[in-house]
A and B are shown apart, each in its own frame.
Chain A
Amino acid sequence: MAGASDNDPVDVLIIGAGASGAAVAWSLAETRMRIVCFEQGDWTNPSEYPSTRKDWESQQFGPYHINPNVRGLETDYPINNDESPINVVNFNGVGGGTILYAAHFPRLHPSDFRVKTLDGVADDWPINYERLEPYFSKNDRMMGVSGLAGDPMYPPKQPPLPPIPLGLVGETIARGYNKLGWHWWPSDSAIITRPYEGRDQCLNLGPCMSGCSQGAKSSVDITYWPEALRSGVEIRTRCRVREITLNRQGMADGVVYYDEEGTERHQKAEVVVMACNGVGTPRILLNSESAQFPDGLANRSGLVGKNLMFHPVGFVQGIFEERLDSHKGPAGCCILSKEFYETDRSRGFVRGYNMQITRGTGPLATALQGYTSGTIPWGPEHHEAFQKRFDHVASIGILCEDLPEEHNTVTLDPNLVDSDGIPAPKINYRLSENSEKMLAHGLARAEDVMEAAGATEISSSGVLEDAGWHLLGTARMGDDPKTSVVNSWGRSHDVKNLFIVDGSIFVTAGGLNPTSTIQALALYIADTMKKNLANLFD
């Protein structure tokens, strides 16, 4: 039931202030409609991020942990990962996952939109790379993306800023790729390498994944949101949406939410835009049951919460005799390789993976990992073993394309609830045989690279557990209402004033970090909404 007192109705209510919510808010702001964004978390203060503190590393084991079940902040909601080898990781607050992401910023490839046509698996998207290209470029400018033009594995594109430094890690691994004759390229990174739009450039602090104190990492709290707020959009923090409500005509007419005091309230809205990621969005839709939608809102296809895709991740670490200054520079961004990105059936699997070269860890993580793996003992041998590894390491992450499978789901947990009593999401996920073969292939090829680059010691691990960053596919887009949840511009087939702009709408996942594509989609959907304002609900 609706709560204590209703607020004034708004034209557009956006749920979630992360990557896609920020982009869609900024784009719609020029319409001068009344736009409000509900965010269950808070604003973060860059001056309080861990890198301003001497205990910056241990902060990542506690309040800045990427797993919300470990972090356990009041603004987080629990997630039941018991039936999944991969845990969902996220951040709940203005900026969403971009607060803690590595800022690797590749676009999906043209081929990623046509996997059925090209490889006979999954489905084609109802849109293509060419349709999204102007929005990719606009998003690169808005976010501040650093990279190098000319990568032969993409159609021409021009990142607005020069690439982040290769450093000794990048140069060393690049030589390994060159020995093998394999592709590599400096990563497109949402980290500014020069002063840009009032922000100062990257200082190579290292720990990007616990927030950037310098403000050089392009999280949307410092890119899109300041501009959207100046244009009149309003953000209300600590507003946690429980369900979307419907009027008698079957149109969304607002949301029931809990405010900071835990008071249940109702907010009326003419249009509802969901931007809660591939887990949060199906959670709210499934929790919005009604006589008209007994299986959850906008779920006549039965596909809300199905086809969950992560990117299964593995890592290969190499130890080098020479010092690589591994702790310096953006931890997650350096160079990448698309050598095995496209399908070659002789490998025993379809589709492919991205190889992502990352730098090293800080001293605490190095010592702890060394203890766990038995490579750096405590006691008299500690210092010598530590010095051989710290700053002498490079890693290659294998990011595999995950294909959509209906048995991989987000549902509502029958018992687990958040602090407001809203059912928590439950993840049921199995790694497919295709993904297992792909990951094994990727780990073996990454070991080849390490060997070619001169590593004296090589170790592999995967699939990584706390690596469910990329939450995709749970409300897929498509032209047919029977086989998709939203149409080709993010509008629900079932509820004409309900839009989804986050990673839920991906048809396939590609084999790379999705934020660039999520935001390009959000800008494209916002633009399509603006072009169709007069008949938006037809």
Chain B
Amino acid sequence: MTNDVIATDHPLTTSQQETLAALLDTLLPASDDGTMPSAQAVDLIGYLTEKNAEFIPVLVEAIGHFDDGFAGLSLSDRYPVVEAFSKAQAELFDELLFHTYDCYYQDDRVLEGIGMAAGPPFPTGNTIEAGDLSLLDPVMQTSRTYRKYDQ
């Protein structure tokens, strides 16, 4: 079997998957402290298949702009390659970035990493303080009033 044969229902070849993983890891690498995962650790293809399948052929086109050696480069060597791609193919890059961010910032590990609760907002919700209404004292101590007029 070669890397160009699709042997599963995965929409990308093995080679394309490797390029995509490197690309995603360049866009959003893991944080140094390990709190934030790399974007290659979130299931972009699964997300697109379920929510935005029409973008997958566009993604394949984007991957096609990177040669086979890209996946083997270090992060610091991949960065200028992606930067050049972002300028040469600005519209395509922006679309890729939107979907990457969209998928990334709904992953439970990511949400917890940035201090949010995992999952959708409802029904968990949030608790916030009522706040100190004595801050209004200076407002109430002024002679300010609404503008009046003769009836």
- The interface of chain A, by Cβ under 8 A from chain B, is 49, 51-58, 109-111, 114, 117-118, 128, 130, 148, 150, 152-155, 163, 165-168, 170-171, 174-175, 177-178, 181, 183-186, 203-207, 213-214, 323, 325, 327-329, 342, 362-364, 367-368, 371, 378-380, 382-384, 386-387, 390-391
Which chain B residues border A323 with CB–CB below 8 Å?
115
Instruction: Determine the distance from Cα of A158 to Cα of B110 in the docked complex, in whole angstroms.
Output: 43
Contact A368 B119 (CB under 8 A): no
- Known interface pairs A52-B122, A167-B129. Does A364 touch B146 (Cβ–Cβ under 8 Å)? no
The reply on B3 being an interface residue by CB < 8 A is: no
Contact A181 B138 (CB under 8 A): yes
- Known interface pairs A165-B129, A371-B97. Does A52 touch B149 (Cβ–Cβ under 8 Å)? no
Nearest chain B residue, comparing its CB with the CB of A371: B97
Which chain B residues border A367 with CB–CB below 8 Å?
101, 105
B93-151 residues at the A interface, CB under 8 angstroms: 97-98, 101-102, 105-106, 110-111, 114-116, 119-133, 135-136, 138-140, 142, 144-149, 151
Which chain A residues border B140 with CB–CB below 8 Å?
150, 152
Which chain A residues border B125 with CB–CB below 8 Å?
203-205, 214
Contact A207 B121 (CB under 8 A): yes
Can you add 16 more A-B contacts, CB < 8 Å, to A181-B142, A205-B122, A391-B115? A57-B102, A110-B149, A152-B139, A152-B140, A153-B144, A165-B129, A166-B135, A171-B132, A185-B136, A185-B139, A204-B125, A364-B105, A367-B101, A379-B27, A383-B28, A383-B31
- Known interface pairs A111-B146, A171-B131. Does A54 touch B120 (Cβ–Cβ under 8 Å)? yes
Contact B105 A57 (CB under 8 A): yes
Instruction: Determine the distance from Cα of A379 to Cα of B83 in the docked complex, in whole angstroms.
Output: 9
Contact A55 B106 (CB under 8 A): yes
- Known interface pairs A178-B138, A329-B126, A390-B114. Does A56 touch B149 (Cβ–Cβ under 8 Å)? no
- A334 to nearest B CB, angstroms? 9
Instruction: Determine the distance from Cα of A207 to Cα of B145 in the docked complex, in whole angstroms.
Output: 34
| Main DSSP-derived SS at the A contact region | loop
The reply on B36 being an interface residue by CB < 8 A is: yes
Please encode chain B, from 1 to 39, with 1 for each CB lying within 8 Å of some chain A CB and 0 for all others: 000000000000000000000000011110100011000
The reply on B79 being an interface residue by CB < 8 A is: yes
The reply on B75 being an interface residue by CB < 8 A is: yes
Which chain B residues border A152 with CB–CB below 8 Å?
139-140, 142, 144-146
Q: Which of B36, B133, B135 contacts A175 (CB 8 A)?
A: B135
Contact A205 B126 (CB under 8 A): yes
- B57 to nearest A CB, angstroms? 19
- A12 to nearest B CB, angstroms? 33
Contact A166 B129 (CB under 8 A): yes
Q: Which of A118, A185, A328 contacts B126 (CB 8 A)?
A: A328
Of the candidates B110, B127, B140, the one having the most CB atoms from chain A within 10 angstroms of its own CB is B127
- Known interface pairs A166-B129, A206-B126, A380-B75. Does A174 touch B135 (Cβ–Cβ under 8 Å)? yes
Instruction: Determine the distance from Cα of A362 to Cα of B131 in the docked complex, in whole angstroms.
Output: 22
Instruction: Determine the distance from Cα of A416 to Cα of B42 in the docked complex, in whole angstroms.
Output: 43
The reply on B51 being an interface residue by CB < 8 A is: yes
Contact B128 A165 (CB under 8 A): yes
- B27 to nearest A CB, angstroms? 5
- A425 to nearest B CB, angstroms? 30
Q: Which of B27, B114, B122, B128 contacts A328 (CB 8 A)?
A: B128
- Known interface pairs A111-B146, A117-B149. Does A203 touch B126 (Cβ–Cβ under 8 Å)? yes
Which chain A residues border B119 with CB–CB below 8 Å?
54
Which chain A residues border B116 with CB–CB below 8 Å?
327, 363
Can you give 26 contacting A-B residue pairs, CB < 8 Å?
A: A51-B121, A53-B120, A54-B106, A55-B51, A109-B146, A109-B147, A110-B149, A163-B133, A165-B131, A167-B128, A167-B131, A170-B131, A171-B129, A177-B139, A184-B136, A185-B139, A204-B125, A205-B122, A325-B126, A342-B147, A363-B105, A378-B28, A382-B28, A383-B28, A383-B35, A384-B31
Contact A363 B97 (CB under 8 A): no
Please encode chain B, from 76 to 104, with 1 for each CB lying within 8 Å of some chain A CB and 0 for all others: 00010010000000000000011001100
Which chain B residues border A167 with CB–CB below 8 Å?
128-129, 131
- A339 to nearest B CB, angstroms? 9
Contact A378 B97 (CB under 8 A): yes
- A57 to nearest B CB, angstroms? 7
Contact B101 A368 (CB under 8 A): yes
Which chain B residues border A155 with CB–CB below 8 Å?
146
Instruction: Determine the distance from Cα of A387 to Cα of B35 in the docked complex, in whole angstroms.
Output: 12
Nearest chain B residue, comparing its CB with the CB of A367: B101
- A365 to nearest B CB, angstroms? 9
- Known interface pairs A109-B146, A118-B147. Does A204 touch B126 (Cβ–Cβ under 8 Å)? yes
Nearest chain A residue, comparing its CB with the CB of B78: A379
